[in-house]
């Protein structure tokens, strides 16, 4: 997830992701989930490992709202 956010901030240095990263705050979940959705859609394999997400309960709520399901597994 962090890599997707960094790439997004490089593409749009004045966009909401870049501003959030500069301020040291967590990027809004709808933005992160949107980036994840694009990446999952374009993934070459049907199994996807998302590293570093969710970081907060609000992140998880955004994930559940978008995919209408929970993750199949979590690594700690």
Digit-coded pLDDT (tens) for 34-74: 989 999 899 998 888 888 888 888 888 998 999 898 888 87
52: left (phi over 0), alpha (psi -120 to 50) or beta: left
pLDDT tens figures, 28-39 = 888 889 989 999
pLDDT of 7 reads 87
**pLDDT, greater one: 27 or 61:** 61
Radius of gyration of the chain, Cα coordinates, nearest whole angstrom: 12
What pLDDT is stored for residue 65 in this prediction? 92
């Amino acid at each position: 997830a962090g890599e997707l956010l960094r790439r997004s901030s490089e593409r749009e240095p004045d966009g909401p992701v870049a501003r959030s990263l500069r301020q040291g705050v967590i990027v809004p979940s709808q933005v992160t989930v949107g980036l994840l959705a694009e990446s999952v859609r374009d993934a070459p394999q049907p199994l996807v490992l998302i590293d570093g997400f969710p970081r907060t309960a609000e992140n998880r709520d955004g994930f559940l709202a978008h995919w209408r399901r929970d993750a199949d597994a979590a690594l700690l």
